[in-house]
């Protein structure tokens, strides 16, 4: 292999591309960990994107009208870090040298909020692909709502064979094509290599035809990975497509120009080794005996490119400053919250009414649409069932300002798109499905928590109380599993009024929120209307006495059982009972110890009641009426009663707990 010959670039640009390749080799070698090959192959593409195509201002990384870039192939993170360093987003060469080390700003996969310029957290393949679709939805909606002077940009995504093999990409690509989302420019890095070896071992899809069938514009540009003019032309053609998403299929050669590892699986996930790096640097015209070499003129070229969006950003600043009648709405959208005082629009219900919490949630959405202007979304083919109806137009090419998104039967794609929309900013995405199908969403929900994506997941039909559909649709372990995710706000409200307060958390918080709601109607309880105890995760619903004999803790649909069981225990046994509603473990955990002890006195026996797995309840209770088996097909009320969720059984279990504790004394 001879010296690398530049195509469509000046000598300075080619040296810049080779510097990127040098960093892509040196950082994984220093870390003894990482993926150099893709970054080496795509260095020309990155150069073209950051110097010729994308509109951004590195001095203002969070400028709302910047073009977005997603590295769905997050294993190639060193490519992104190299560009963020070179173009001036705040990374220093020392950060590149600390690649994949403890506390560094350059972790193994890109992490939002951790590194300036990283738009989304990627690594689990396919997720970034879905995020891009959500960003396209958010951009189009904001442009329709506020005009192109305030929102007028594109989303660029680099995806890999692995992204396209993962099922979430199929769901998201189908949704994007159906919606006719323009301004999405995806580059498929068709390098024919996975960790196991050649993609032909397991993958023979006709990708261009697959995406044409989804309704995408497809440009198969072939062997031009080192031709910067051809790359630029393809990207600009795709940028001009307004009525459908675009896929550019680029045949690249992983590890190029390494003589030993080009087009091999070894270049995918392993450092090249010092000897091979030396040989490759000689081919590139880089100093073979220097690591992390960035000459001043190359750095100056990229730093100048990083500021070329300054004029457009300043024009946007002027447009925002000139905004008058829509200013409050626009600022509420940008911050991801409601208008000042929005919570006064929350509905309340009277004690004695019977309302499913999913229905109450739907009423809340209907009531707050005008005062939470960025709220958009819908359901995964369960829009009416989950109370996620938004009667303000159906999002699509013919109605880009529509707030109702029909996600179709695509729970995983829905969640990934919600994350992208949330991380884009300007909207608060809501998406609903049955709670048991949160399993289909779990990878994206986990990433929402890692990323701090302000998305609202509405999960309904939350227990065996959903009834006849049986154990395949009756969630048992889902609450425990989702509670184990750090930084996910999870609430299971007891009645309609608690549901309204749960929405206060969903709108006012800046993290992902899961609302776990009932299919069946639940009685509206005394003392829940406007009760801000929900905001603290748990509160005393019925005090009983300053020093009760027993505390009953309930969540969701089991709180009213605790109230009824407390009445039985008082009437039949003379036991003083405190009833605590605990809609959110994580919120309660965040309260000061004095408040937690006030709600749950340490010395008082405590019985929890929840129609789900018992795992974790020993943190809060001495015993729990729970469900550590799958449910059964039957009417919901019968299924609950047969499985022990009745006032009588709760009262009996309370008596047994008190008796057991007395014996121990």
Q: State the catalytic residues.
A: 411
Neighbour count for residue 442 (Cβ, 10 Å): 17
Say how many residues make up the chain. Answer: 665
Contact 554, 518 (CB under 8 A): no
Q: Give residue for tokens 């035809």.
A: 209
* Residue 215: cis peptide before it, omega within 30 degrees of 0: no
3-state secondary structure of 394: strand
Angstrom distance (rounded) from CA 630 to CA 613: 10
Distance of alpha carbon 501 from alpha carbon 343, whole angstroms: 9
Return the bridge partners of 553, or none: 580, 608
Instruction: Report the C-alpha gap between 439 and 445 in whole angstroms.
Output: 10
Are 71 and 187 in contact by the 8 Å Cβ rule? The answer is no
SS3 337: coil
468 and 461 Cβ atoms separated by less than 8 Å: no
The CA dihedral of 134, 135, 140, 145, to the nearest 10 degrees, is 90
Q: How far apart are CA 611 and CA 631, in angstroms?
A: 10
Q: How remote is the C-alpha of 153 from its chain's centroid?
A: 21
Q: Which two tokens stand for residue 563?
A: 């109230």
CA distance 271 to 1: 20
d(C-alpha 656, C-alpha 662), whole Å: 10
- Measured on CA atoms in the order 50, 56, 58, 62, is the torsion positive or negative? negative
Report how far apart, in Å, the C-alpha atoms of 503 and of each of 77, 341, 345 are. Answer: 36, 14, 11
- Which two tokens mark 42? 């795509």
With contact defined as beta carbons under 8 Å apart, do 245 and 268 qualify?
no
- Encoding tokens for residue 156? 């660029």
- Sign of the Cα pseudo-torsion (38, 154, 92, 129, in order): negative
Contact 150, 316 (CB under 8 A): yes
Interatomic CA distance for residues 234 and 563, integer angstroms: 66
């Amino acid at each position: 292999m001879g010296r690398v010959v530049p195509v469509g670039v000046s000598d300075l640009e080619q040296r810049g591309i080779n510097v990127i390749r040098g960093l892509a080799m040196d950082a994984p070698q220093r870390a003894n960990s990482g993926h150099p090959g893709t970054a080496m192959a795509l260095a020309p593409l990155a150069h073209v994107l950051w110097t010729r195509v994308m509109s951004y201002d590195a001095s203002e990384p969070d400028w709302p009208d910047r073009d977005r870039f997603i590295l769905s192939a997050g294993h190639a993170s060193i490519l992104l870090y190299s560009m963020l360093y070179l173009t001036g987003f705040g990374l220093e060469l020392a950060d590149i040298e600390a690649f994949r080390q403890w506390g560094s700003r350059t972790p193994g996969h890109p992490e939002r909020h951790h590194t300036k310029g990283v738009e989304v957290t990627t690594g689990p393949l396919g997720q970034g692909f879905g995020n891009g679709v959500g960003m396209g939805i958010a951009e189009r909606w904001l442009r329709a709502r506020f005009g192109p002077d305030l929102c007028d940009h594109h989303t660029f995504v680099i995806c890999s064979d692995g992204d396209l093999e993962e099922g979430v990409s199929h769901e998201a690509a189908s949704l994007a094509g159906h919606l006719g989302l323009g301004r999405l420019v995806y580059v498929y890095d068709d390098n024919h290599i996975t960790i196991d070896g050649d993609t032909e071992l397991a993958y023979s899809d006709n990708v261009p035809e697959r995406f044409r069938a989804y309704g995408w514009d497809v440009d198969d540009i072939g062997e031009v990975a080192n031709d910067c003019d051809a790359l630029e032309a393809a990207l600009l053609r795709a940028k001009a497509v307004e009525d459908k998403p675009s896929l550019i299929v680029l045949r690249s050669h992983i590890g190029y120009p390494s003589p030993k590892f080009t087009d091999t699986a070894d270049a995918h996930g392993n450092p090249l080794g010092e000897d091979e790096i030396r040989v490759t640097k000689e081919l590139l015209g880089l100093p073979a005996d220097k690591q992390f070499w960035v000459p001043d003129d190359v750095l100056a070229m990229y730093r100048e490119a990083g500021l070329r969006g300054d004029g457009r950003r300043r024009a946007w600043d002027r447009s925002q400053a000139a905004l008058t009648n829509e200013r409050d709405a626009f600022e509420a959208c940008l911050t991801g919250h409601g208008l000042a005082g929005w919570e006064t629009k929350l509905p309340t219900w009277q004690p004695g009414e019977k309302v499913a919490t999913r229905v109450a949630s739907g009423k809340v959405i209907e009531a707050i649409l005008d005062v939470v202007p960025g709220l958009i979304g819908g359901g995964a083919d369960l829009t009416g069932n989950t109370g996620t109806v938004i009667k303000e137009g159906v999002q699509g090419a013919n109605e880009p300002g529509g707030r109702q998104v029909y996600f179709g039967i695509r729970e995983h794609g829905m969640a990934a798109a919600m994350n992208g929309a949330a991380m884009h900013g300007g909207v608060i995405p809501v998406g609903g499905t049955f709670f048991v199908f949160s399993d289909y969403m779990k990878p994206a929900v986990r990433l929402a928590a890692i990323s701090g994506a302000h998305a609202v997941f509405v999960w309904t039909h939350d227990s065996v109380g959903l009834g006849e559909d049986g154990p395949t649709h009756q969630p048992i372990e889902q609450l425990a599993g989702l509670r184990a995710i750090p930084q996910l706000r999870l609430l299971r409200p007891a009645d309609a009024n608690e549901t309204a307060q749960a929405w206060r958390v969903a709108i006012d918080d800046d993290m992902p929120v899961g609302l776990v709601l009932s299919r069946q109607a639940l009685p509206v309880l005394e003392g829940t209307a406007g009760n801000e105890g929900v905001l603290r995760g748990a509160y005393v619903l019925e005090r009983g006495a300053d020093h009760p004999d027993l505390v009953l803790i309930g969540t969701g649909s089991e709180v009213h059982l605790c109230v009824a069981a407390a009445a039985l225990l008082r009437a039949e046994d003379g036991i003083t009972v405190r009833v605590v509603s605990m809609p959110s473990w994580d919120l309660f955990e965040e309260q000061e110890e004095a408040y937690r002890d006030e709600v749950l006195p340490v010395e008082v026996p405590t019985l929890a009641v929840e129609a789900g797995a018992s795992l974790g309840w020993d943190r809060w209770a001495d015993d729990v009426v729970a469900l550590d088996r799958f449910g059964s097909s039957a009417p919901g009320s019968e299924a609950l009663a047969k499985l022990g969720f009745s006032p009588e059984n709760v009262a009996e279990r309370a008596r047994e707990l008190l008796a057991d504790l007395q014996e121990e004394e």
